[in-house]
Amino acid sequence: MREELTRRITEICGKGSSAAVSTLYDEGLLDSNCVRNYLIRCDFDSALKKNNSELIKHIFIDISDKYDISFRQAQRIVYDYMKNKVSKTVNAI
């Protein structure tokens, strides 16, 4: 997960950010569950953007295989985050 997170952060923030991610990992400041959940949500979003015709069910199957979690756990990670994100946005208005 460390390499995947470093790659994604580097794509967003530039090459200098990889050292910061490595330092955060080395110091134990990144929670592995939070990192995994972030990567799962990123994979879900990118799968939706790449292939709109693919069934969401297949996306969750791919995610559960990649991260060695259950199908239901993959759904909860994505949907619970989206539910919280939407409720915060609606309440802020």
Q: What is the mean pLDDT of residues 42-71?
A: 88
CA distance 36 to 30: 10
Percent of the chain with pLDDT over 70: 87
Contact by Cβ (8 Å): 57, 30: no
Among 28, 40, 36, smallest CA distance to 1 is for 36
What is the pLDDT of the chain when averaged over all its residues? 84
If one compares 56 and 2, the residue with the highest pLDDT of the two is: 56
CA distance 3 to 1: 5
Give the model's confidence band at 56: pLDDT under 50 very low, under 70 low, under 90 confident, else very high. confident
Give the model's confidence band at 92: pLDDT under 50 very low, under 70 low, under 90 confident, else very high. low
Q: Quick one: tokens of 38?
A: 């972030």
| pLDDT recorded at residue 82 | 77
| pLDDT recorded at residue 63 | 93
Give the model's confidence band at 71: pLDDT under 50 very low, under 70 low, under 90 confident, else very high. very high
